Amino acid sequence: MGDEIPLGDKGDGTFYKVLIIDDSVFMIKQISQILQSQKFEVIGTAADGQEGIDKYKELHPKVDLVTLDITMPNVDGITCLEKIIEFDKNAKIVMMSALGKEDLVKKALLTGAKSYIVKPLDRDKILSRLKSVLSNTN
């Protein structure tokens, strides 16, 4: 087990770079810790949808993966998703929301999110979903 390659390892000596967008510093901390334990590099965080769009553009093309909350002040996560996809249709975005409503999940996936994880989050939930996202899109 200990010899396993961490999920964040791209296999070329570098690690996946992540932007975390969530209005809760608790969530940012929890997601960061889980990702960092697998060697993902958190290169940016944003506390609402507008900041998320701005950070994505600023960091582009360095961002390999975005985790995106939905319920946020100012600009929500669905609008943020639309804007990021509009800017970069290849963006790899994984929604992480407390809302699991079917219409919302469908909308997010149709708009271009690669996966949708319903909070509360835990290590296994995040890592197993990211594993399939990364293997499907590479």
Partner 1 sequence: MRVEYINPFVESSVNVLKEVLGLQVRRENVSLKSKALPVLDIAVIVGLVGQVEGRVIFDLDRKTALNIASKMNDETLTEFDDLAKATITELGNMITGRAVTKLSELGYKFDVTPPAIFTGNNMEISDVNIEALIVPIETELGRVEVNVALREKA
Binding site for Mg ion (CB under 5 A): 23, 69, 71
Give the bridge partners for 21, in sequence order.
Answer: 46, 68
CB of 39 to Mg ion, least distance (A): 26
Under rule CB under 8 A, residue 103 binds partner 1 = yes
Contacts of residue 101, defined as CB under 8 A and 6 or more positions apart, other chains included, come to none
Determine the interface stretch with partner 1 among 9-17, 35-43, 82-90, 113-121 (rule: CB under 8 A). 113-121
H helices of 37-101, in order, are: 49-59, 77-87
Q: Which residues pair with 65 in a beta bridge?
A: 18
Under rule CB under 8 A, residue 71 binds partner 1: yes
Under rule CB under 8 A, residue 124 binds partner 1: no
At residue 136, φ and ψ (nearest 5 deg) are: -80, -25
Q: Which stretch binds partner 1 (CB under 8 A): 5-13, 57-65, 80-88, 100-108?
A: 100-108
Query: Rounded to 5, what percent of the chain is helix, strand, coil?
Result: 45, 20, 40
If one asks whether residue 119 binds partner 1 (CB under 8 A), the answer comes out as yes
Binding site for partner 1 (CB under 8 A): 23-27, 29-30, 71-73, 97-103, 118-120
